[in-house]
Amino acid sequence: MSPDAATLESISNDIRYRIGDVDEITENHGELIVRVAAERRTEALAALKSLGFTFYSWCGGVDWPEEDRMELMDQVADIGRNARVTLKCSMPRSDPRVPTAMRVYAGADWHEREAWELFGIHFTGHPRLRRLLLADWHEGYPMRKDAVLRARIEKPWPGEFFSG
């Protein structure tokens, strides 16, 4: 069960107080979404951890080529209050860089390596940014929307495209 409205409002106020310059806080299905500038990611995650969000759940990327930007999302949880916060930050698609979260959450290691490998998001200060899933010879970032599907090069799509 998600926290009630009063609890979410209290957490929102605490976040605004601790983080300070927050671009936006919204609520979606009982979870808070906090948007901050990319360079403030580590600071914001440290503030969330000090507020009881001690469990680092995941991080992932989104490619928005039509807007020429990448988005990174980190989700953290306060198990005692059953509350979750997704921290979002945007960066230019041409140079997607954010500071690593490993100084705050050691569990961010694997997640950041995956986002680096699949989306090309560089995590400044990450001590072990190396391949996790793809072969050493693989070029490009397969989760970006402009990635070429290798299977379609080797074997063309057999039917017509239907978007119905």
Q: For 73-107, what is each residue's pLDDT tens digit?
A: 999 999 999 999 999 999 999 999 999 999 999 99
Residue 44's CB is within 10 A of a number of other CB atoms, namely 26
Which residues share a beta bridge with 56?
Answer: 76
- Give the predicted TM-score (pTM) of the model: 0.87
What pLDDT sits at residue 145?
87
Is residue 71 pLDDT above 60, yes or no?
yes
Is residue 153 pLDDT above 60, yes or no?
yes
| DSSP code, position 119 | H
Query: How far does CA 29 lie from the centroid of its chain?
Result: 18
Cα–Cα nearest to 108, from 64, 143, 73: 73
What CA–CA distance (Å, rounded) separates 46 from 54? 10
In the Cβ-directed half-sphere of 111, how many Cα atoms lie within 13 Å? 18
Is residue 146 pLDDT above 60, yes or no?
yes
What pLDDT sits at residue 2?
78
pLDDT-based confidence at 148, cuts 50/70/90?
A: confident
Question: Which architecture does CATH list for 5-154?
Answer: 2-Layer Sandwich (3.30)
* Degrees, nearest 5: CA angle 44-63-34: 25
What CA–CA distance (Å, rounded) separates 49 from 19? 11
- Mean pLDDT, the chain, rounded, equals 90
Chain segment 9-41, per-residue pLDDT in tens: 999 999 999 998 899 999 999 999 999 999 999
